[in-house]
Every structure is written in C-alpha cells, then in structure tokens.
C-alpha cells in the first residue's frame, strides 16, 4: 500500500486530504501520478502542475523517484510559511 | 526545498522546535532558552530573535479593492514533515554559525491581524553567530518548511502564493 | 566614530532610546514597541531583537589564570552624548532600511554575569528591514556610542579594550 | 570658559572627571591639550595618546578642531559598549 497526502489548494481541489492506493513494483512518482489522473479525471491534473512539490516519507523528492511499498507520498504547492 | 541532507550531523546545541496553535510569550521563551544552560557556566553573550506576525496591509491596492480588508491568515501544515524540516534548518544553521541554543515556534490555524506567526530565538557566545543563524533560519524556513497560508479577506479567501523574493533570500546564503 | 551627520534627517519612524541602570523585560518592550501604532493599521510584519549580556567566560585562559573568574562588568557612559549617538545610529539605520519603530536600551552601572547589557528592537513591514536595521544598530553602537566597560575579576579589574573585530564589523556596512 | 570632561581609564589616571579652563582665542584641541600637559605634568600625556578620542559639544572631532568659548570638550578611550 502507498499512502497519499494532499495539502492546501491541492487538497481543496481534490476534495480530500488522503487516500491509499495499491503498491506497484518499480513505479516512479511520475507514473504513479499519471495513473491517478487517468483513473480520477482531469481535476487531478493539478498533481502534475509544474510547481507541485512531491515528497516521499517526508522528504522532498524528484518525480522520477521510485516508490517502495508502505511509502507515504505527499503532493503540495510551494510552501508559504514564516 | 531541503537539499541539505549532509547537514544532519550531531550537534551539541540545544534545539527546540514547536508547531502550535497557541500564542507565545517572548520573555517566557527567552527564559526557557536560557534555562538550557548551567547557570554557573553562562557563555551566552548574544541572543537574537525574529518574530513574524500577520500584517493588515496589502501592498497591492487592486487586491484591497477586490477582496476587502485582510482579516486573518489560516495556516495549514504537514505534521511530522514540518518538525523534521525545521530541525534540519536549525542544524544547518548551527553548522555554519555555531550557537548554544535555539527555539523555533510556528503557529498554525486561524491567526488574526497583528498576531504572531513565527518566533526564531538563537543564543550564542557572540553576536555574529546569533544574528546570522537567526536570519538564516527564518530565510530557510520560508522556502523549506511545509506550511501554507490562506489569506482570509472580507469578501474572499485565497491561498498565498510563494514569493520569488523568498527564493532569492535563500539563494543569497549559498554564495 | 560617528561620521554620519548627513543622516540626521527627518524620519517618521518612532525611535525610543534609553540609557538606564535597571534591567528590562523583553515582552514589555515588545508591547511598548507595538503600542506606537494605531491598532487599526498594523503594518508591522517583522520584529527583530538583539540582546547582549554579560558572559562569564574569557576565551583567553591566561587571563583566567591571572585574574580569576569574571564577576561583573561596570559600565560607564557620557550622559547626553550617548543618547545623541544612539539616536543618530537609529536614524542612519532607518535611512537604509526603513522601519516603523525601534527601541534601544543600554544599561550602565554594575552588571553581574548573565545580566542583559543592551537591547535593540526593530519593527518593520518586512523581515529584511527589521533584521538588517537591528544588526546595523548593534554593530554601529559598538563603535560609536560612548560607553566603556570595566571587567571586574576575582583578583583584579581592568578596562575592556576596544575589539578590532568591532571595527571590521562596522566597515562591512560601508561597502 | 571651556568645560573639560574625562572618561574611563583617562578619568582614573587623572583622578578627576571634569574641570574648567579659560578660553583662549583661536586655539586648537591639540594646542589646548599640550598646554594642559605642560601645566599638569607627564601623567596628562594620556590625553594625547594615539587612541584617545576627542569630542567637542558631544560630537567626535579631529585634534585640529578650533575650540569656541563655552564649548564642552571630552577626552575618552575607544568605546566598548554593546
């Protein structure tokens, strides 16, 4: 299983803050995300917008990062704290 | 965001991180910062602080015309990753400007105009370390810690956009 | 020392200077800083502070061997000129990094180890102004304001020598 | 009259914190100070040590500064506040 988390305007757009999906061997975040969009529709394109940040197990990663079973993946806009 | 994994080294500085909805009192935090140390061996000569708070004004008058007055910020974060990111930021600062102790408090939730958002406190032997570390931590936090602000206006609300000037501010430290 | 007579221009920032023997409370000073403003028009987004305090340690072990432990600093000043100099320093800072308000408190008299000596507080719209102005004020004060410290050790007492590093710190701002 | 003030180690060395002297037309601080040393003795050489700072009416001035009647002149070591 992979746990997915969504934050800020991405969470609002998708209308959900988290979900779980099945683990697929040797899948990059890019591919995993394309599968999500295929399944859930155009609204989910926001996940691949150029400024969307990807994290895996609470570390920012590139889109070609290969996901492992049990990983926590998050999608969020550029941060605006402080 | 955080490209500084190499900075996660052992440091003997006392680093305290808190993400909280409650406010904070600067003097209390100063006391707690100082209580980290043996009273008999007070090597702290300099303490720097930075407090960020909700401003009422929008520089862009067209925003004011359309949205009305800013009432508050609603701040969301990624629990777990936020604390990890703030700790890394402090450790990175400590590597460049060794300090004795540091406290970073960041609030989340609904914060009205004038309320404090973030506090960075750094205690060091000398003023350069304290001031530079404090400045670095706030600059770094702004581009690395997973917080998001939503601006609540009289007539509308929108997510705050990341500022290019914050990206420039952090680049400055890489020189 | 102060070569910046040209900086004595009108500024609409609220500048508060005090030379005092009593201590101070950081939160109280923050409140007073913020009370300078109309509550309905809170443009302050950033507040920086710097606190300098008496350190117990001497880096130079040979001094410790000879003089014993540092017990206190005795600080003397030139009444009148001090306040004038501190005001000039703040006005000069405000010219480069416009801020909304600033408070500079400097203590005189007998201050034991761990006690605060100086507080610089700067409130501005944005963090860069607040932090840079605060840093400039403390750097400038160290080479311009007529204060003199005498270090009181267990076995002896001597006037503290001016540090070349303080001269370098202020030169940095002239670039 | 000219009011003279001494601070820190200069004050300690001279054993006094202030005094007044008669005003002399067109006299520089350098000359005024040399006259003081001539009158009071070698101990007062500290006033002309290279790092002694001179102020006139609470502004730092050079040693060739010409004193006016009623001026407040101060002698002090490099400052060490903050």
DSSP secondary structure string, D10-68? Answer: HHHHHT-SEEEE---TT-BHHHHHHHHHHHH-GGGGGGGSTT-EEEETTEEE-TTPBP-
Q: What percent of chain B has pLDDT over 90?
A: 65
| 8 Å CB contact between C174 and D24 | no
**Closest among B68, B42, B41, B72 to B55, alpha carbons compared:** B72
* A78–B162 CB contact, under 8 Å: yes
Per-residue pLDDT, averaged over C149-164, amounts to 93
The length of chain A is: 82
Which member of B1, B84, B147 has the closest CB to residue A80?
B147
Pairing of strands C147-153, D53-56: unpaired
* B146–A82 CB contact, under 8 Å: no
Q: Does C168 touch chain D (CB under 8 A)?
A: no
**Does residue C5 have a pLDDT over 70?**
no
Q: Does B149 touch chain A (CB under 8 A)?
A: yes
Q: pLDDT class for C17, splitting at 50, 70, 90?
A: very high
Phi, psi of C99 (to 5 degrees): -125, 175
* B142–A81 CB contact, under 8 Å: yes
* B162–A79 CB contact, under 8 Å: yes
The predicted structure's pLDDT at residue B100: 93
Please compute, for residue B72, the number of CA atoms within 13 A of its CA located in the half-sphere on the CB side: 7
Q: pLDDT class for C38, splitting at 50, 70, 90?
A: low
The CA angle B87-B90-B91, to the nearest 5 degrees, is: 85
* B30–C51 CB contact, under 8 Å: yes
Phi, psi of C146 (to 5 degrees): -75, 80
**Does residue C2 have a pLDDT over 50?**
no
The predicted structure's pLDDT at residue B170: 84
Per-residue pLDDT, averaged over A15-24, amounts to 97
**Does residue B2 have a pLDDT over 60?**
no
The predicted structure's pLDDT at residue C136: 97
Measured between beta carbons, which residues in chain B are less than 8 angstroms from residue C122?
none
Chain B, nearest residue to A9 by Cα: B159
Measured between beta carbons, which residues in chain B are less than 8 angstroms from residue A7?
76, 78, 146, 148
As given in the structure block, the two tokens for residue C13 are: 């920032």
Scan residues 18-47 of B and list those with Cβ closer than 8 Å to A: none
**Does residue A24 have a pLDDT over 70?**
yes
ipTM above 0.95, yes or no: no
Determine the Cα–Cα distance for residues C112 and C152; give it in Å rounded to an integer. 9
Per-residue pLDDT, averaged over B106-122, amounts to 96
As given in the structure block, the two tokens for residue C40 are: 């309905």
Query: What are B28-72's pLDDT values in tens digits?
Result: 999 899 887 655 456 899 999 999 999 986 656 676 777 888 999
Query: What are D21-54's pLDDT values in tens digits?
Result: 999 999 999 999 999 999 999 999 999 999 999 9
Q: Does C1 touch chain D (CB under 8 A)?
A: yes
The predicted structure's pLDDT at residue C90: 98
* C49–B49 CB contact, under 8 Å: yes
Which member of B2, B84, B159 has the closest CB to residue A9?
B159
CA distance D27 to chain C (A): 23
Determine the Cα–Cα distance for residues A23 and C37; give it in Å rounded to an integer. 57
The predicted structure's pLDDT at residue C39: 53
């Amino acid at each position: 299983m992979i746990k997915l988390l969504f934050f800020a305007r991405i969470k609002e757009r998708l209308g959900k803050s988290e979900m779980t999906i099945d683990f697929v061997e040797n899948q990059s975040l890019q591919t995993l995300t394309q599968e999500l969009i295929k399944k859930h529709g155009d609204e989910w394109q926001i996940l691949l917008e150029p400024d969307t940040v990807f994290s895996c197990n609470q570390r920012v990663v590139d889109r070609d990062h290969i996901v492992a079973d049990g990983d926590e993946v998050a999608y969020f806009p550029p941060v605006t704290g402080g | 965001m955080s490209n500084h994994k190499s900075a996660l080294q052992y440091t003997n500085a006392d680093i305290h991180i808190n993400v909280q909805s409650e406010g904070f009192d600067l003097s209390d935090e100063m006391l707690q910062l100082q209580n980290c140390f043996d009273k008999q061996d007070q090597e702290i000569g300099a303490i720097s602080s930075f407090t960020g708070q909700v401003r009422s004004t929008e520089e862009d008058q067209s925003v004011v015309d359309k949205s009305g007055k800013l009432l508050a910020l609603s701040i969301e974060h990624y629990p777990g990753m936020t604390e990890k990111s703030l700790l890394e930021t402090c450790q990175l600062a400590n590597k460049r400007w060794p300090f004795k102790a540091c406290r970073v408090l960041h609030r989340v939730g609904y914060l009205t105009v004038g309320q404090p958002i973030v506090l960075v406190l750094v205690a060091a032997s000398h003023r350069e370390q304290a001031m530079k570390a404090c400045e670095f931590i706030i600059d770094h936090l702004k581009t690395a810690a997973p917080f998001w602000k939503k601006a609540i206006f009289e007539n509308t609300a929108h997510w705050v956009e990341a500022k290019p000037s914050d990206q420039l501010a952090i680049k400055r430290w890489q020189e």
